Structure 1
């Protein structure tokens, strides 16, 4: 747990670690502090952007979208290793995450499987988006990986943290897959951070994320009893996992990813069904096994029951 330094000190810490820093506009005062607190901070979270092109990516992470205003991170780590600072303070990057994962980061131990989304991550983490298509094929250049290591090391050194204070978005939030792709080996990143900090690499490797499970029958019950259809709404935690996948697929706005299988989720799932070639009543937004398994295979969850 720590208090974030001033913006000028933050930039100086990165430069002292050998990071090439690009300051974008009035980044020191660009934040979402009016929407909630920032701090105490507990760690550094790494993401990928699902974008192409440095200039385009910088603009997106600085300004955000109509449904998710910027900044979307504190710094964007480009393919060439330059770190573009776009905001400082509360940023829309982490969202709600698992309290057990937060406890693991605070205690500097390997995080457990993320299966709950109840803790405000935007408050508690530095966030760095990394320029990458996020398709599992776009490579991570050596310069970019080196910059990630140096960014993490700079903040861990300042706060007296170990490499275990760094985590991936996929460690934090159910259904997330970032960062991934050729050249992104998280165990190697942690080992390199430890080496820069003058410590031994973590003896326990970071776990491969276990896939969350979605119970098909419970999901269907939640979908069929939303107020847009009939009956008393059924709540089920797996709805959040499916909604996170639909957000990643581009069919659902993150603002509607609330664990309630309402009209927005029905419409988003129907779009996914139509994407798979279903029509008519087979694309009504109520999950079927085949379409749900396809979604889970692509966005990281397993269908049961």
Structure 2
């Protein structure tokens, strides 16, 4: 629990973190406190959005939307990466937040799936950042935009003594099915193009917080190492029993230059390395509405489980169930990465296809 930042604290925190920013006229006194009779704060985290539009500054700061008075966020982040401070008080950005998710943000724990039966007003205690993007999953976040995005969240976390667990996305808190933020990112640091996920944003914020505020990631232009192309799959389908986590054991390697990556092995890459790509899955026999969970897991050289990463859920549909799971991560030396599945139905499920395609950078 923290008192909301004063204008002076906003400026100092952003400047220290290397965030380029400007100030929209009147931002230091703009808010919905007087209009609602509710005082903004105490604050517990940062809620991230995309605008689902272009040139949205006026809408967010002074115009609002039908039935939703401004301000619609505390800050706006356009394509050029220069944050605009919009409001210092209560803002209409979060709406109703699932209480179980809100409690996890407060406790800085992994965020659960929303329980829509109990809600709180997120506008009371969450900072809001609107990032310019059309929200069509084709419009690209620029490198400068994403870099400022990471720095902005880290600046507020550092100011209040929070971890990256205080960073959330609207799609994780909303009980109304909001999809934001989402979309492709041009790159960050040494990383090339990737799909935005909140898990990746939190990982990048956590990386910043592990360094002094003046730290910057190694820029891409210094990376002269060409990535390796890894393309793995299954020779035969197999049955996935209910109730136990089970590694996908990739049994064939489709690549022009095989490099020994994980053939006949559950590990698809070994560290130290960075990788980005995707896993395409097809299940047969998964009952409609039932779930198979998918997650990446890190193991040490002795085969001991060291870390689990966020879960992706595949929900059963008629005629087969399909999913594409993003795979992006940094992997420390003496670690290997596996993909594990958990069949939560009561029936055996056929893993009909699993095709993994990633680019891997050593070091």
| TM bracket (short chain) | 0.5 to 0.7
Which secondary structure does the structure 1 equivalent of 2:13 belong to?
Answer: helix
What is the number of equivalent residue pairs in this alignment?
A: 205
Q: State the alpha-carbon separation in 2 of the partners of residues 205 and 104 from structure 1.
A: 17
1:98 is the counterpart of 2:98 = yes
Correspondence for 2:296: none
Q: From the superposition, tell whether residues 207 and 41 of structure 1 become closer, same or farther in structure 2 (CA, over 3 Å).
A: farther
Q: Which has the larger radius of gyration?
A: 2
The alpha carbon displacement at 1:150 in A equals: 0.3
Gaps of 5+ in 2: 186-195, 212-306, 316-363
Runs of 4+ residues over 3 Å off in structure 1: 203-211
The alpha carbon displacement at 1:170 in A equals: 0.5
Q: How do 1:63-212 and structure 2 match up within 5 A?
A: 63=62, 64-116=64-116, 118-174=119-175, 175-183=177-185, 184-198=196-210, 204-208=308-312
Gaps of 5+ in 1: 212-305
CA deviation map 1:197-247 (0-9, x unaligned): 117xxx553444899xxxxxxxxxxxxxxxxxxxxxxxxxxxxxxxxxxxx
Q: From the superposition, tell whether residues 23 and 197 of structure 1 become closer, same or farther in structure 2 (CA, over 3 Å).
A: same
Superposition TM-score, scaled by structure 2 size: 0.54
> Comparing both structures, which one devotes a greater share of its residues to helix?
1
The alpha carbon displacement at 1:10 in A equals: 1.2
Aligned partners of 2:72 and 2:93 also within 8 Å: yes
Aligned partners of 2:100 and 2:115 also within 8 Å: no
Q: State the alpha-carbon separation in 1 of the partners of residues 150 and 14 from structure 2.
A: 11
Q: State the alpha-carbon separation in 1 of the partners of residues 144 and 162 from structure 2.
A: 24
Q: From the superposition, tell whether residues 66 and 177 of structure 1 become closer, same or farther in structure 2 (CA, over 3 Å).
A: closer
Q: From the superposition, tell whether residues 49 and 204 of structure 1 become closer, same or farther in structure 2 (CA, over 3 Å).
A: farther
Q: State the alpha-carbon separation in 2 of the partners of residues 192 and 40 from structure 1.
A: 25
The alpha carbon displacement at 1:186 in A equals: 2.4
Q: From the superposition, tell whether residues 66 and 196 of structure 1 become closer, same or farther in structure 2 (CA, over 3 Å).
A: same
Aligned partners of 2:73 and 2:91 also within 8 Å: yes
